[in-house]
């Protein structure tokens, strides 16, 4: 099963994507996580990506597309994958469609996790991330067992630079301008499904499972 998660930053698509990956036994491919790992390891890609990410801007398509195409060509992705944070622009979506068409494949579902803008800013200021293992928390809805400490690896949790309120506003503008058009793109492909992201996380996941099947 090949799934794309759509939705504004902070809509909860990452949390849902991780659960989908676990339930359907497919890899969770998050471009944000890949960029953050590169930043942490001080790679050239990481240095370039950071300049854009810190400003709330998208990393250019030419740095993003090849990386995803290489990842989905790996062995563990041959039975499907869930893409989280990619595509984020029409050219990225077109590159993905073209790469899959070449090998006689196509995406199965694009799931839009819909949350109004007014809910997003509050949500993101409560987000906490572990920069070591990539786990994410929320001080209200998904608190770690011990405040400020990652349940999984014991590292310190932080508010990501790009989750700071001013950057969040910028990211929302970028979302509306560049990513929201993908809703129409996948609607035209006939694979768009929408779920309301303002419900409790478990309900959102149950709605998604209804769409994907048990
Ligand atoms: P995320 O963790 O998905 O919210 O991504 C964090 C940041 O990484 C975004 O605000 C962008 O700067 C960058 N990023 C992640 N995925 C993409 C993508 N598909 N295209 C361009 N930039 C991306």
Q: What is the pLDDT along the chain (214 residues), one digit of tens a residue?
A: 999 999 999 899 999 999 999 999 999 999 999 999 999 999 999 999 999 998 889 999 999 999 999 999 999 999 999 999 999 999 999 999 999 999 999 999 999 999 999 899 888 889 999 988 989 999 988 999 999 999 999 999 999 888 888 888 999 999 999 999 999 999 999 999 999 999 999 999 999 999 999 8
Total residue count of the chain as it appears in this document: 214
Report how far ligand 1's centroid is from the alpha carbon of 72 (Å): 17
Is the Cβ–Cβ distance between 212 and 129 less than 8 Å?
no
Q: Which of 7, 85, 131, 166 to mutate to test the pocket of ligand 1 (most atoms within 8 A of CB)?
A: 85
pLDDT at position 95? 96
Q: Which of 36, 49, 59, 63 to mutate to test the pocket of ligand 1 (most atoms within 8 A of CB)?
A: 59
Is the Cβ–Cβ distance between 127 and 159 less than 8 Å?
yes
Is the Cβ–Cβ distance between 110 and 191 less than 8 Å?
yes
Provide the 10 A C-beta neighbour count for residue 92: 20
At residue 206, φ and ψ (nearest 5 deg) are -60, -40
Protein residue closest via CA to atom 14 of ligand 1: 32
pLDDT at position 162? 83
Report how far ligand 1's centroid is from the alpha carbon of 86 (Å): 8
Is 205 a pocket residue for ligand 1 (Cβ < 6 Å)?
Answer: no
Alpha carbons 4 and 80: distance in angstroms, whole number: 11
* Residue in 118, 153, 94, 111 with CA at minimum distance from that of residue 15: 111
State the pTM of this model. Answer: 0.89
Is 162 a pocket residue for ligand 1 (Cβ < 6 Å)?
Answer: yes
pLDDT at position 140? 87
Is 52 a pocket residue for ligand 1 (Cβ < 6 Å)?
Answer: yes
Is 86 a pocket residue for ligand 1 (Cβ < 6 Å)?
Answer: yes
Is the Cβ–Cβ distance between 72 and 29 less than 8 Å?
yes
Is the Cβ–Cβ distance between 5 and 113 less than 8 Å?
yes
Q: Which residues does the annotation mark as catalytic?
A: 13, 88, 127, 160, 171
Protein residue closest via CA to atom 2 of ligand 1: 32
pLDDT at position 208? 98
């Amino acid at each position: 099963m090949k799934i794309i998660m759509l939705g504004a930053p902070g809509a909860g698509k990452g949390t849902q994507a991780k659960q989908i990956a676990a339930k359907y036994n497919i890899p969770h491919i998050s471009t944000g996580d890949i960029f953050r790992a590169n930043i942490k390891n001080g790679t050239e890609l990481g240095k370039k990506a950071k300049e854009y990410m810190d400003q709330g801007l998208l990393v250019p398509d030419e740095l993003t597309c090849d990386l995803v195409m290489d990842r989905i060509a790996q062995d563990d992705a041959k039975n499907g994958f869930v893409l989280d944070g990619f595509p984020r622009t029409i050219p990225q979506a077109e590159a993905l469609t073209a790469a899959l068409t070449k090998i006689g494949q196509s995406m199965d579902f694009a799931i839009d996790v819909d949350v109004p803008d007014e809910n997003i800013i509050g949500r993101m200021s409560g987000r906490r991330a572990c920069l070591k293992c990539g786990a994410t928390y929320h001080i209200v809805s998904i608190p770690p067992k011990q405040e400020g400490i990652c349940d999984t690896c014991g590292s310190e949790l932080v508010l990501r630079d790009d989750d700071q309120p001013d950057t969040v506003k910028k990211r929302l503008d970028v979302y509306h301008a560049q990513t929201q058009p993908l809703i129409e793109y996948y609607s035209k492909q006939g694979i768009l499904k929408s779920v309301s992201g303002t419900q409790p996380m478990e309900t959102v996941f149950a709605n998604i499972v209804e769409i994907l099947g048990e």
